């Protein structure tokens, strides 16, 4: 069979399997809507999760022995497309927190066989949630200046220090943490990456409310917390190489400009027609807004085309590369501008916080706009991505840090 015939056959099998297994009640629902209260939907979600996990499609490109399906990226993309086509989605990366998108891929590369055997299946099935303890109050963009210490106690480390902005720490079972194992060495040479269970007496979390009203992240304290030596990911004191790789995976996972259509999101141009009105010839009556809206739609299209081109050039392999920085910034800019435009379109209906004066989607768009401000901060801020581009792609001299 030639490649395209094979691909066609895979697509049609995937379509059949999805049609037979995706619970119709979940169609076009967002994970967030499901995570809310509806118990019937929650039950459907669990059915869907376990079927996907059984098929290995939670993390389709991972080896089958670790809970994946051993597929290539082109096939994974087919699955993704076929899911989108029927309003389905893969809840497992979300359920796994930082597991499927970041810790897992890094573990596949750096982990021991024992670590892979113990940890990857729980991520790929969405049953074990992971958080990442990187940032500290004085170590944000300058991650290498972190101070959390891990002392060598023979078979384990004792960890002490404070992390901040730890997403999902309060609901995670495991944490991948960057710790200092040799304070005598230069900043980057004395850091290690350890995995530690969150459910132990030495770990404490405190949620931090955000400007959007949500509270997805925490302050995390380690007081004599324990991490087994067997859970050191990578070499001792070589955590910096591990984390560089992990951060590439993080950028990679943040390169889509919200392409997923969730909850039947109305295209921005239709929303604008509805709120702003049209002239006799059907064009948006606010020409200024129309021009800026067009700019944003064009930027979104350019972003999409660039992803397609990079993927094509890499012959179907989605490569973790410096291009991820370009895409992360462009994704962020498109999404943030879109949220601003959406609010502007809605006018006074776009500034609501609560109460009956607003539709649910109006209130949701305000919170999304506010939460969206974080996208240019986390995962390496907008400025830090540009630093990486200038150094790693353009070869300009390093000004401040290694990307």
Partner 1 sequence: MAALSEEQSIIRDQAKAWAVEQAPVQAFRAVRDAHLPGAFEPKTWAAMAELGWTGIVIPEAYGGSDLGYLTFGLVLEELGRNLTAAPLFASALVGASALLLGGNEAQKRALLPEIAKGQAIVTLAVDEGPRHAPAATAMTAVAEAGGFRLDGEKTFVLEGMAATHLIVAARTAGRPGETAGITLFLVPADAAGIRRAPIGTMDSRGYATIRFDGVAVPADAVLGAVDGGFPLLDATMDRARAGLAAEMLGTAAAAFDLTLDYLKTRKQFGRVIGSFQALGHRAAALFSSLELARSCVEAALQALDDGAPDAAQLCSLAKARMGECLYDMSNDLIQIHGGIGMTDEFDAGLYLKRARVLEAAFGNRAFHRDRYARLLGY
Q: Which residues are catalytic?
A: 250
221 strand-pairing partners: 162, 204
Residue 276 is a binding residue for partner 1 (CB under 8 A): yes
C-alpha to C-alpha distance for 247 and 102, rounded to whole angstroms:
8
Task: Using the minimum distance from each CB to ligand FAD, give the nearer residue, 26 or 132.
Answer: 132
CB-based contact 131:166 (threshold 8 Å): yes
Among 117, 208, 305, 396, binds partner 1 (CB under 8 A): 208
Task: Using the minimum distance from each CB to partner 1, give the nearer residue, 9 or 357.
Answer: 357
Q: Which residue is nearest to ligand FAD (CB)?
A: 140
CB-based contact 365:343 (threshold 8 Å): yes
Could you tell which of ligand FAD, partner 1, none binds residue 128, using a CB distance below 5 to 8 A set by kind? Answer: none
Output the six-digit token pair for 325: 């920085």
CB of 207 to ligand FAD, least distance (A): 12
Output the six-digit token pair for 237: 């004191």
Residue 207 is a binding residue for partner 1 (CB under 8 A): no
Nearest to 149, CA basis, from 186, 106, 194 = 194
Task: Using the minimum distance from each CB to ligand FAD, give the nearer residue, 80 or 252.
Answer: 252
Burial (CB count <10 Å: 0-12, 13-18, 19+), residue 99: buried
Nearest to 150, CA basis, from 208, 74, 233 = 233
Burial (CB count <10 Å: 0-12, 13-18, 19+), residue 317: exposed
C-alpha to C-alpha distance for 180 and 317, rounded to whole angstroms:
35
Among 306, 382, 392, 393, binds partner 1 (CB under 8 A): 382
Could you tell which of ligand FAD, partner 1, none binds residue 348, using a CB distance below 5 to 8 A set by kind? Answer: partner 1
Helix (H, G, I), strand (E, B) or coil at 216: coil
Residue 280 is a binding residue for partner 1 (CB under 8 A): no
Cα of first residue to Cα of last residue in the chain, in angstroms, is: 43
Task: Using the minimum distance from each CB to ligand FAD, give the nearer residue, 132 or 293.
Answer: 132
Task: Using the minimum distance from each CB to ligand FAD, give the nearer residue, 66 or 165.
Answer: 165
For 224, residues 6+ apart whose C-beta sits below 8 A from its C-beta are 158, 159, 160, 202
Could you tell which of partner 1, ligand FAD, none binds residue 167, using a CB distance below 5 to 8 A set by kind? Answer: ligand FAD
* CA angle, residues 29, 31, 35, in degrees to nearest 5: 110
Residue 31 is a binding residue for partner 1 (CB under 8 A): no
CB of 146 to partner 1, least distance (A): 12
Task: Using the minimum distance from each CB to partner 1, give the nearer residue, 54 or 213.
Answer: 213
Burial (CB count <10 Å: 0-12, 13-18, 19+), residue 264: exposed
Contacts to partner 1 from residues 158-187, by CB under 8 A: 164-165
Could you tell which of ligand FAD, partner 1, none binds residue 166, using a CB distance below 5 to 8 A set by kind? Answer: ligand FAD
Could you tell which of ligand FAD, partner 1, none binds residue 132, using a CB distance below 5 to 8 A set by kind? Answer: ligand FAD
Among 5, 348, 360, 394, binds partner 1 (CB under 8 A): 348
Give contact residues for ligand FAD (rule: CB under 6 A). Answer: 131-135, 140-141, 165-167, 217, 374, 377-378, 381, 383-384, 387, 400-401
CB-based contact 399:387 (threshold 8 Å): yes
C-alpha to C-alpha distance for 190 and 213, rounded to whole angstroms:
38
Residue 140 is a binding residue for partner 1 (CB under 8 A): yes
Residues lying near partner 1 in the complex (CB under 8 A) are found at: 135, 138, 140-142, 145, 164-165, 208-211, 213, 275-276, 286-289, 292, 340, 343-344, 346-358, 366, 370, 373-374, 376-378, 381-383, 386-387, 399-401
């Amino acid at each position: 069979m030639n490649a395209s015939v094979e691909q066609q056959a895979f697509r049609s099998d995937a379509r059949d399997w999805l049609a037979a297994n995706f619970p119709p009640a979940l169609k076009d629902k967002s994970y967030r809507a499901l995570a809310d209260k509806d118990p019937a939907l929650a039950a459907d979600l669990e059915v869907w999760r376990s079927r996907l996990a059984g098929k290995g499609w939670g993390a389709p490109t991972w080896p089958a022995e670790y809970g994946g399906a051993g597929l290539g990226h082109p096939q994974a993309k087919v699955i993704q497309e076929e899911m989108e086509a029927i309003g389905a989605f893969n809840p497992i990366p979300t359920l796994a927190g930082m597991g499927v998108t970041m810790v897992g891929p890094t573990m596949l590369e750096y982990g021991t066989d024992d670590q892979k055997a113990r940890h990857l299946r729980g991520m790929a099935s969405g049953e074990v949630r992971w958080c990442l303890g990187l940032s500290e109050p004085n170590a944000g963009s300058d991650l290498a200046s972190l101070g959390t210490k891990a002392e060598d106690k023979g078979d384990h480390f004792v960890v002490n220090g404070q992390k901040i902005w730890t997403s999902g720490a309060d609901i995670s079972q495991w944490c991948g943490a960057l710790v200092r194992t040799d304070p005598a060495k230069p900043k980057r040479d004395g850091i290690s990456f350890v995995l530690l269970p969150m459910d132990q007496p030495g770990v404490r979390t405190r949620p931090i409310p955000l400007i959007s009203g949500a509270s997805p992240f925490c302050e995390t304290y380690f007081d004599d917390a324990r991490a087994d030596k067997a859970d050191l990911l990578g070499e001792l004191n070589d955590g910096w190489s591990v984390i560089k790789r992990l951060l590439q995976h993080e950028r990679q996972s943040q390169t889509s400009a919200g392409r997923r259509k969730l909850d039947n999101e109305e295209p921005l141009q239709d929303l604008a027609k509805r709120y702003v009105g049209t002239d006799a010839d059907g064009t948006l009556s606010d020409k200024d807004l129309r021009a800026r809206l067009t700019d944003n739609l064009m930027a979104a299209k350019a972003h999409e085309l660039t992803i397609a081109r990079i993927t094509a050039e890499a012959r179907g392999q989605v490569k973790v590369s410096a291009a991820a920085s370009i895409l992360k910034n462009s994704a962020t800019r498109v999404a943030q501008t879109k949220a601003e435009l959406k609010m502007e379109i809605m006018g006074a209906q776009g500034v609501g916080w609560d109460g009956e004066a607003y539709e649910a989607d109006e209130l949701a768009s305000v919170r999304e706009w506010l939460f969206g401000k974080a996208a240019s901060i986390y995962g390496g801020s907008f400025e830090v991505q540009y630093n990486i581009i200038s150094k790693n792609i353009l070869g300009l001299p390093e000004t401040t840090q290694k990307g």
